[in-house]
Structures are given as C-alpha cells and as structure tokens.
Structure 1
Amino acid sequence: MYSFNQLLVLVVTTLTAFNSTSYILQVKGLEIETVFEQDCIDPHPNVARNLDYAWMHSIPRWYIPLQSKLNMYRYSETLLKTRVANITQDQIDSSCLSFKFDNPPVLYGFGDKMVGYTTTNVIENSYGFNTRWEGDTRGRHYLTLRDNKSFVFFTTCWTDGKASWSVISTVEDLGEETKSQIFEHAKSLGFKEDLFLEQGYASCPKIGDADELRKNEL
C-alpha cells in the first residue's frame, strides 16, 4: 500500500505530466516552411486577358475550394491574426473560406472572422494587395486562368518572394473535369501537386444572398 505522502507525490507527478502534455498539444501548430515552393515571378508572364469584371462583381460571395497549402496558411494567418505555428490542422480543415469583391474586398472564414483588403491595379488583370492586419499580408495577385462562368485562378507573389495559387469559384465543387484543368494549369506554372489543397463545404454554414451578406460588411 502507498503511504499518504507517496500518493501525494504520485498525484502531483501525474498532473504535472498531464499538464506538460496538454501544453505541448496546445501549442503544436503547422510549419510554414514545409509548404514553401518556387520563388515568384513578378510581374507574372502568363496573365490572362478578357476577364469579365461585370460577371466577377455580380457574384455575391465566392468560394475558395482549391489552392496551394502556402496560400491557405497565409489566408489563415491573416484571418486568425496569428502565425501559422499557432494554427492547427483541425482549424485549417474547418476554415470555410469565402471571398467577396466589394469596396473593400473582404476575405471570410473560421466562423465569424473577416478581413478587408486595400488593392491597387498593377497591370491588366493584376493587382497589389494589403490587408488591414498590420505587418501582414502584402503581395500581388495575377489572374492566369478563368472561364468567365465558374472560376478564376490567381497566382500570388508574396512580399517574401514566395509564390502560391488559389481558385475562387461560384460553386462549392467545380466538378472533376474543371478541377483537372485547374490542377494541370497549376502544374504547368511549376507548383507541386503534393501541396495542392482541396476543401469541401458540406459542413460549412450556407452562404446567403447579397442582401444578407451586406449585414456583415466591414
């Protein structure tokens, strides 16, 4: 049988070990260096032309179902206002990202999080951007593929010289044929297939109509 003092030491030791383990699990986040790819090309040589801006601005809210992991990490940092080392994969998996072209453009995700962007035109179908989170996140978006009916593909050049890509879509799921076209385009630009990220919206809140969205404007 244990004495009272032995039991006390055992309990304290167990609690200390548990708290240490909990702390490690709590702070264990993602590593952005693991998703770095190519350095960006600025300005990008493959900018697409003839974008239908009236169509683009007519969509109340865009989904972001396809992107590179670096792009997701950067968007997550911006919305959660913390570095990716403090963000878990579970949070990434339930981010439910969406975007609205407005004045200012707004990125939404992680429940009630949103951030507005300031933008400047660079060349046709390209623009510089900066968020309202001081110190982050700046760069340039280059439109390199679009169909003027369901999606727009952007290549992003960040201020640290790293490149990423993302697709905004009018629908939650673009379908296999369109996704294959997008993935082939990403690979043609030098992006790595093992760093492609596809996210579903089945468990996300449904996006309302334009009038409802305006209630949440910045």
Structure 2
Amino acid sequence: MSPEAGFAALAATWPAAATRDLGPVRLRIGAGGGARVSAATLEGPFDQDDIAAAEAAMRGEGRAPLFMVRTGEAALDATLDARGYAVKDPTVILAARLAALDAIPAQAHWPPGAAQRALWAEGGIGAARIAVMERAGGPKAVLHHPGGCAFVARHGEIAMLHALEVTPAARRRGTGRALMAMAAGWAHEQDCAWLALAVTRANAPARALYAKLGYEETAAYHYRSAPA
C-alpha cells in the first residue's frame, strides 16, 4: 500500500467538518474532533508567503497554527522547524493485506449504540469524535466485543480502523485481537484488499500487538504546532 493511498484513506474515513484551500495549503475545521481533522496539510509547491498566509488564516479563526507533516515532506518540516514549530505526536500508518490476516465474522452495526458511546467516552472519545465518524462517507461500521469497540470505514480497496478502545478490565484478555479479527472480517465483506490504521509511535504496546498480527509501516506523519 503506497503512502499516498494510506493518507487518502485516512482523510476519507476520518474527515474534517470543512476544508478549504489557500494556495497550496489545505485548511481544515475539526469542530473539536482532534488534531487529525484540524491540521493543515501541504498539497503542492510552497514558499514562505504561503506558510505565512496559512498561519494568518488559522489565527484569524481563533486557533494556533497546526500542520500535519507527512512522509516525503522534509522541506515543509524544515521550514516549520525554522519558524519555531514544535513536533507533536509522531504517528505511523500500518497496513496488512487481508489475505495474510486472521478474520472472524464481525459483530458490526451502524450507528453506535449507547454501550459503545459510553465505552468510548470512558477512553476520551466523545461526541466531537463520534461526529467525525458520522461524517465519513461510504461503508462504515462499529465493531463491538465485550469490553471493547472500534470504528471501521472503507475507502476504495482500503478499510481503515479507528478509535479502537478496550476497557482496563478487558485488556490482556484477547479483546484487542478479537476486534482486529472482526475488522478483517468486515473488510473481507467489503471486498477490500488492505486493512490499515494509524497509531502513535509512543504507543509501544499497541505497535507490538499490530506487528505480531502482521501489520507493517507504510507511511508516517507528525504534527508541527506553532509557538505561542
């Protein structure tokens, strides 16, 4: 799976409330849904004036400038570093071919029920992030298992998993593995070729689990936040 395909699936299955292009910079309104749906991205060649215009636009909306820097964007990264931007949340996109994954029939439905909303809320995934899920177009589902749930959506041949949450009491009991196998089962039903997800580099336990299941890094990104 190419980095470009991974980023396209990430944007389509976890969409911003609104976007607009200002020169080569795509600005996003996240409506409280987190950095992934709020960060600006580079969509073409740029210069310092383009960055300054994007900064002014974001400050004009009452928020600090925030950019997502993706695989292959070393020039943008260096430019933002020189302007004093700090690195935030280095993240990897992992993917595996469905043919290589264990899959089980998915306990899936849409929209999320009260039990899933409550479980997500305990993990800090509130109404604004559920609104992100609601905005996602195309096939999508909530996966549920005793003590855990997740959101999965399709973009082209890629199924992207988001918001996997397991209660503390259900951890180390196979709940995460079961949800991953359900995600693979759902992706098979949708005729996908890949199952992918994003995870922070700091989340070592999750990355270890995904590596054991056969997922490999296909792309990476981090955020750059402006100085106060």
User: Would you call these one fold, judging by a TM-score over 0.5?
Assistant: no
TM-score of the pair, normalised by structure 1? 0.31
TM-score normalised by structure 2 residue count: 0.30
Query: Which of structures 1 and 2 has the larger relative contact order (alpha carbons within 8 angstroms, sep 6+)?
Result: 2
